[in-house]
Structure 1
Amino acid sequence: MSLATLASHCRTWAGVSRFNTRREFHAAPVVLARKIKERPVLTKQQLAAKARKKALKAKKNIYDTEKMPLNDAISVLRAVEVASPNATYELVIKTQSPERGATVPKGRYSLPREPKTKTEDRILVFAEGKAADEARRAGAAIVGGPELIEGIIQGRHSATLYLCTPDLIRTITPRLGRFLGPLGLMPSDRRGTVTDDIAGFMKRLQGTSEWKGDSVGAIRTAIAKAEWPVEDVAKNVRHFLSVVKQATGNAKTSGAEDSLFQISQLSE
């Protein structure tokens, strides 16, 4: 092949190559967006069936299979503990854990039928003058004014219950608030332990016991004997539950039969 012919072929290839590398425009039809399929509206029966199916797949609580009416639960416990008829049973009420710095719930109660002998409270009263004399006659173990503060902090004076008259509460609060407050023993208007009627308050305390929640919100109390009739045990449980509900502001919640209780053997 001659040089002239080869040069002619090269020019022809270059022209075709330049032509093919150009961007061509064309009129293609617009691609339509994918149509979203509308979900069908479910009927009430279909929604209920869907909810049941979801509930079956949900993780079960280990106590779900143990829930039963209160009277049936007591009957089961009596059957299990037939060999220990003198056992004392403890009722545990689980509440929400108190927030940090919140006041631990507590109160006093008297059951329709007491499962064990009550212990006497050792009462310390902040009072002066006539109120102090009335407190001593009512049976207070320690009675005095601000002079008792140092002895309480140092441990020389101890009591299971502290009462105070309204005229002394501001005097004792600055020093004793941080000491008795965390123990749940500081006199307060809300608990009724700041009162002018010291003798009347102490008279109402006779025959009652104190309940108190722990750090995780659990309240425990001896509730009954295993040998008692089912009706007596149920009456004690309902009464104590109503006391706790009123003290914690849950008096409008459901009854005892709808709540989950854990009644365990406490002692012989």
Structure 2
Amino acid sequence: MANVSKKQKSLAEKLGDNTKLYAVGEALQTLRDLKTTKFDETVEVALNLGVDPRHADQMVRGMVSLPAGTGKDVRVAVFAKGDKAAEALAAGADKVGAEDLMEDMQAGNLNYDRVIATPDMMGVVGRLGKLLGPKGLMPNPKLGTVTPNVTQAVKDAKGGQIEFRVEKQGIIHAGIGKMSFSDADLRSNFSAFVDAIVKAKPTGAKGKYLRKISLSSSMGPGLKIDTTEITGA
């Protein structure tokens, strides 16, 4: 049996009934009340879905723009040449290049949150599949990261757009802001994220789609959300 720290015991005592279902606003207030750290924790949402992602018709994946942003400095690399490279730099990309950027990544410099490419650069980017794929960074036209409109793609990435993808266990999780955000901003981000998951319901999903939702902070407990207040639950 794993040892339980004094902090964990204290949180459990303050929390009380761990089977309670919370409204979103109540959960956010509870996380604030339980906060003991000095740093600005991330607020995280986790959804347990009624899907089996081993089947292609039950895969849930997409992009969503959080209205209030993520509170995170997103590092963006763009594969582009000429005018498109200039556009990407003007839009705020952290690194722009072509073969030189590929070689830099092959050397181990992969400290990016999003990689974007123009269609004509996919021959170069394809050689990085084994590096970018496992990190979830491989540009994908379905996600808008392979596009001639690099200006919009960079602005979306910097402005609060996040990717979601269901894991093997049927779970999707993501950070939706910081504890320093207002309740209104966190609620709008939560709603946007959950709405995107509901709209992405695959054709092969059977029975109850949103099975469980929980909210937590980086160092706080997971609080179960009452899914009856969520459209499409």
Q: TM-score range by the shorter chain?
A: 0.5 to 0.7
CA contact (8 A) 1:90 1:220 kept: yes
Q: Does 2:145 align with 1:193?
A: yes
Change (3 A) 1:239 1:253: farther
SS in structure 1 of the partner of residue 148 of structure 2 = coil
Structure 1 residue 203 corresponds to structure 2 residue 158: no
Mapped pair 1:151 → 2:104: yes
Cα distance in 2 between the residues matched to 1:78 and 1:204: 26
Larger gyration radius, structure 1 or structure 2 = 1
In structure 1, how many angstroms separate the alpha carbons of the residues matched to 2:43 and 2:175?
6
* Offset of residue 254 of structure 1: 10
Structure 2: distance between partners of 1:79 and 1:130: 48
Q: 1:105 and 2:61 equivalent?
A: yes
Long gaps (5+) in structure 2? 1-17, 221-233
Q: Distance in 2 between matches of 1:132 and 1:81?
A: 43
Structure 1 portions without partners, runs of 5+ = 1-64
Q: Cα–Cα, structure 1 residues 190 and 261, in superposed 2: closer, same or farther, change >3 Å?
A: same
Q: Is the 8 A contact 2:46 2:213 kept in 1?
A: yes
Look up the match of 1:84. 34
Q: Equivalences for 1:30-45 in 2 at 5 Å?
A: none
Instruction: Name the amino acid aligned to 1:220.
Output: H
Counterparts in 2 of 1:14-53, with a 5 A limit? Answer: none
Report the residue type matching 2:61 in the other structure: P
Three-state SS of the structure 1 residue aligned to 2:162 is strand
Whole-Å Cα distance in 2 between the matches of residues 148 and 228 of structure 1?
Answer: 38
Distance 1:127 1:236, change over 3 A: closer
Size of the alignment, in residue pairs?
A: 194
Distance 2:146 2:202 in 1: 21
Instruction: Note the alpha carbon deviations across 1:142-198, whole angstroms, 9 max, x for none.
Output: 21112322321221354221111111213331x212221222111111111111111
Does residue 218 in structure 1 map to residue 171 in structure 2? yes
Percent sequence identity is 25
Secondary structure, aligned partner of 1:244: helix
In angstroms, what is the RMSD of aligned CA positions? 4.2
Q: Measured at CA, do residues 169 and 78 of structure 1 come closer, stay the same or move farther in structure 2, by a change above 3 Å?
A: closer
Q: SS where residue 45 of structure 2 aligns?
A: strand
What TM-score, normalized to structure 1?
0.55
Deviations 1:69-91 (A, max 9, x none): x63x754x478668437887532
Whichever residue aligns with residue 196 of structure 1, its letter is P
Cα distance, 1:130–1:245 mapped onto 2, change above 3 Å: same
Q: Which residue of 2 aligns with 1:51?
A: none
Q: 1:232 Cα deviation (Å)? A: 7.0
1:166 aligned partner:
119
Q: Contact between 2:60 and 2:202, CA under 8 Å: does it hold in 1?
A: no
Q: Which residue of 1 aligns with 2:92?
A: 139
